[in-house]
A and B are shown apart, each in its own frame.
Chain A
Amino acid sequence: MPQPLNYLKETASQTAGPYVHIGLIPAMAGFDIFEKNFSNVLVAPNTKGERITLEGKVLDGSGSPLRDVLLEIWQANAAGRYNHPADRSAGALEQEFRGWGRGGSDFDTGLVTFETIKPGAIIDKAGRKCAPHINVWIVARGINIGLNTRLYFSDEEAANAADPVLNLVEPPVRRKTLIATRSERGGKAVYSFTINLQGAEETVFFDV
């Protein structure tokens, strides 16, 4: 027998279950307990960048919206900088913009929304420019291990065409499952997305 490596093993994932709101968004479960709560609003009045609403649904294999799903998003600021010490890129950091939010789907419609800003382009370790994107993590009853995907922006065609991650998606026709569609409502940009868990239009999920 060779020497043992003695790495620990990652703790196994378990479903977040139908009552995930109790722990993560107690107001949605129907009660008020914490002094400070996390939410789906990432912007503060002084946040730099274009205000956007992200809205969408997660559909199951029958095409029905999940009405008990929870999404978290993680993104860079308008300068393309993540608020984390491991991002040593040149873009200016905004301490007050955490860049993270969580939202639960509406119990009737399944709609999930976030109020945020459009992130800037990101420079990866190899110095390549990556198209602006938002990282998404999805948990719910029936989802045994959180699903990772990304949202890119429909009005960034040139940047998307050059993005090193989008270009890994084969066949190319599946790349569109990662692109949120821009529209305007009351003078404000809205990006709409649909995450399909199954079917011909199944969204690309990543093993990160």
Chain B
Amino acid sequence: MNAQAPALRDPRLNRPEPFTPPLGDGGFFQRDRSIHPPAHAPGYKSSVLRSPRQSLLSIENSVSEITGPVFGHNDLGPLDNDLIRNYAKDGDPVGERIIVHGRVLDETGRGVPNTLVEFWQANAGGRYRHKKDTYLAPIDPNFGGCGRALTDDTGYYYFRTVKPGPYPWRNFVNSWRPAHIHFSVFGSGFAQRLITQMYFEGDPLIPVCPILTTIPDKDALDRLVAPLDLNASTPFDSLAYRFDIVLRGQRSTYFENRTAGN
């Protein structure tokens, strides 16, 4: 790898005051399913046989839903948020060097601290390091394509990677995925669990993607598109894209022994 290139550092421009939200043990806000893709979306053919047809049974959140796994820095390695370095064998991976950064927030706008964010993607040519991916674009020997980070006390996360390429897939005979990065986020309770995908500003494949267009709400779709964040780029090194992720908000406690300020 390139010994001259600097190590990844925190690209944040200004740091909000650390704010640990009060520990909620009320239920999460009702999920607004009108901004999510429906389970059955015939334009995305794989969903047809894999979508439940009965109504979901709505249940009030119990302790089973408001709790969820807790992760810590012990779960991660030092290069987990540096996809340029975490699989490098004899050099840096090929592709446009980018930083992706943002905050995990809840619907009230508070940062979600200490939550696990995982991400995975194709390489610059649109090929995944996966034994089931047979696309003809080559594997990059220096690129694994996955990483993870824990948000800080303000909900902030960042990682470095190369910009993924678009790739073809079997839906219609000429279906192509826009460049994207897959994200998995936990939040504080299992009912906040979310998997989504981040897209890149200006990609002409966005409006024609059969997976993206499963989202019925134009604003919800736009919120998956990360803008170029030139101010956070590293001159002569990496461009930056900004991607905030919003998880469900939570009511504060209704317990009698509520703590002060809650």
Contact = CB atoms under 8 A, between A and B. Distances in A.
Interface in B29-62: 29, 31-33, 35-39, 41, 44, 46-54, 56-59, 61-62
Contacts of B84: none
Given A66-B50, A98-B69, A145 B249 contact: no
A198 interface: yes
A52 B194 CA distance: 28
A74 B64 contact: yes
Contact of B37 (A12, A137, A169): A12
B37 A14 contact: yes
B193 A83 contact: no
Contact of A22 (B47, B129, B190): B129
Contacts of A17: 182, 197
Taking residues whose C-beta sits less than 8 angstroms from the other chain, chain B's interface range is 35 or more
Nearest to A148: B191
Nearest to B24: A86
Provide the main secondary structure of the chain A interface: loop
B98 interface: no
B49 to A, nearest CB: 4
Contacts of B24: 86
B120 interface: yes
Provide the main secondary structure of the chain B interface: loop
A84 interface: yes
Interface residues of A, number: 78
Interface stretch (B6-14, B75-83, B229-237): B75-83
Given A137-B193, A141-B46, A22 B62 contact: no
A26 B144 contact: yes
Interface stretch (A3-11, A109-117, A154-162, A181-189): A3-11
21 contacts: A7-B107, A8-B105, A9-B32, A9-B223, A10-B36, A11-B224, A12-B215, A13-B195, A14-B37, A19-B182, A22-B144, A30-B131, A34-B77, A62-B49, A83-B70, A122-B63, A125-B254, A142-B46, A165-B59, A205-B56, A207-B58
Interface of A: 6-24, 26, 29-31, 33-36, 38, 60-62, 66, 68, 72, 74, 76, 82-89, 98-100, 107, 122, 124-125, 130, 133, 135, 137, 139-148, 150, 165, 168-169, 197-198, 202-208
